[in-house]
Amino acid sequence: MTSKRATPTVMRRRVGAQLRRWRGEMRSGDAAKLMGWDTTRLSRIERGLYRISGDDVRDFCAKLGIDDMAGVQEVGEVADEPAGGGNGWWRAYDGRVSESLIDFVQLEARARSISTHHPVVVPGLLQTPGYVRELLGRTPVAIKPDHVEMLVSIRLARQEILTRTENPVELHALIPESAFLAEFHSGPSIMRDQLRKLLDVAALPNVRVQILPLNAHCWHGSNGAMTILGFRHPWVPVVSVDNPMGGTHSEEPEEIDFMERVFEASASAALPVDDSREIITKYLEGKTT
């Protein structure tokens, strides 16, 4: 059975998009008839506006002749999850932060790999509480203290994907050396703690940290923060690009391919992992003198 939902969750949209990919060149009317639906119903399912059950996913794919059993099973399981993104910790923040943030957090939590580059600051998955508070204190529009603490809590909760027992995410982070030159109102202890955290996290077997030196030419740098999320089969990657005016997400193959090439080009301009660790240590020693 399916049910209507005015604002689809990110995973419901993903389920619908995957069904659309599996439908391929078959006309929507012909595909809908396989299930006894009208074309409008199928269209709304594919756009995430109607919820579809896992049983219907499996039945629909069988009638389409899809032989990707593992992929169909994965999509069916996600389709059966409760509305609102399952039972993840982010459910506690529904209605308190933007839907786009909740969507992104859900995608992060499901990711198998994350490649991220921010041209100005340390990426969010590697930030300390003090560093987050300092950044939020510099926003053009003042944020209430209680909201700041909520955002700090969310950012720290997001970082649990790096150390979770089952399938910790593979993180590849590019960090500009210029980020280490920042000075904060609370004093040098903020950056000192941040540098220590970078060294600790970089030691994890699933984390790769590279530093873009001051003299590196990084074409993407002026375009904002970039994150590429990779997922288990059959989900396609998601590219997220953020800038001061907002952010965009894409699952389009051409855009994914382009941004993956941009990230690899940036990574090639960065220092190797061991050299990156050395430069972080150098800055830490400078902050402790």
Q: What is the pLDDT of residues 22-62, one digit of tens each?
A: 999 999 999 999 999 999 999 999 999 999 999 999 999 99
**Whether residue 223 has pLDDT greater than 80:** no
User: Is the CB of residue 174 less than 8 Å from the CB of residue 116?
Assistant: yes
pLDDT at residue 246, as a whole number: 63
Q: Higher confidence at residue 283 or residue 3?
A: 283
Q: What is the pLDDT of residues 70-100, one digit of tens each?
A: 999 999 999 998 876 667 899 999 889 988 8
Q: How many CB atoms lie within 10 A of CB 251?
A: 17
Q: What is the pLDDT of residues 161-218, one digit of tens each?
A: 999 999 999 999 999 999 999 999 899 999 999 999 999 999 999 999 999 999 987 6
Q: Which long-range contacts (CB under 8 A, 24 or more apart) does 149-158 make?
A: 150/93, 150/96, 150/97, 151/97, 154/90, 154/93, 154/97, 154/101, 154/105, 155/124, 155/127, 156/129, 156/132, 157/89, 157/90, 158/105, 158/108, 158/109, 158/124, 158/125
Instruction: Check if CATH label 3.30.70 holds for domain 89-287.
Output: no
**Whether residue 242 has pLDDT greater than 90:** no
Intrachain domains 2-79 and 89-287 with the same fold:
no
**Whether residue 5 has pLDDT greater than 50:** no
Parallel, antiparallel or unpaired: strands 207-212 and 170-176: parallel
**Whether residue 283 has pLDDT greater than 60:** yes
The domains of the chain are located at 2-79, 89-287
Instruction: Check if CATH label 1.20.144.10 holds for domain 2-79.
Output: no
The pTM of the full predicted model, rounded to 2 decimals, is 0.91
Of the pLDDT bands very low, low, confident and very high (cuts 50, 70, 90), residue 220 is low
pLDDT at residue 123, as a whole number: 96
pLDDT, average across residues 124-150: 94
Of the pLDDT bands very low, low, confident and very high (cuts 50, 70, 90), residue 1 is very low
Of the pLDDT bands very low, low, confident and very high (cuts 50, 70, 90), residue 9 is confident
The rounded distance, in Å, linking the Cα atoms of 42 and 32 is: 6
Q: How many CB atoms lie within 10 A of CB 288?
A: 11
| Residue 97: C-alpha distances to residues 5, 140, 154, 278 (Å) | 20, 18, 10, 38
